[in-house]
Amino acid sequence: MADANKDLVARLADLSEGAIQRLSEAPGADRAFQALKGLGDRVDELQRRTRGFEELEKRLTTLEKRVDLLAKPKLQPKPKPARKPTSGAGAPPKSGPPPKKP
């Protein structure tokens, strides 16, 4: 069985080599192969540029949260109402209509 697999793999390799040979002889094949090589280089460059995006996204999320916290109006404590003096000897007279005489 191992010999059969090796034979099959060898046949496939021979066929693929022949197909590549015929492709390379086709008109415009040089340009196609150069484009494929250039594509690999461009993909590598793109990967290098996009590597830092994850870190930038984390930093952006942190900054957005900080801005949201700063943009929220701060709740100011309500001022305590002034103490109203109770009616008594030390209290100032109430303003308003004078009391009726009986």
pLDDT computed for residue 72 by the predictor: 82
Rounded distance, CA 78 to CA 96, Å? 29
Dist. CA 4–CA 100, nearest whole Å? 125
pLDDT digits (tens, 9 = 90+) for 31-45: 887 888 899 899 999
* Range 46-52 average pLDDT: 87
Neighbours of 89 (CB within 10 A): 4
Do 23 and 29 meet the contact criterion of CB atoms below 8 Å apart?
yes
* CB within 8 Å of 92: residues ≥ 6 apart: 85
User: For tokens 């996204």, what's the residue?
Assistant: 57
Taking the CA atoms of residue 30, residue 33, residue 37 and residue 42 in that order, the dihedral angle to the nearest 10 degrees is 100
For residue 59, what pLDDT is reported?
Answer: 94
pLDDT tens by residue, 21-33: 887 777 887 788 7
With residue 86 as reference, give the H or E element that holds it. Answer: none
Question: pTM of the predicted model, to two decimals?
Answer: 0.34
pLDDT of residue 33: 78
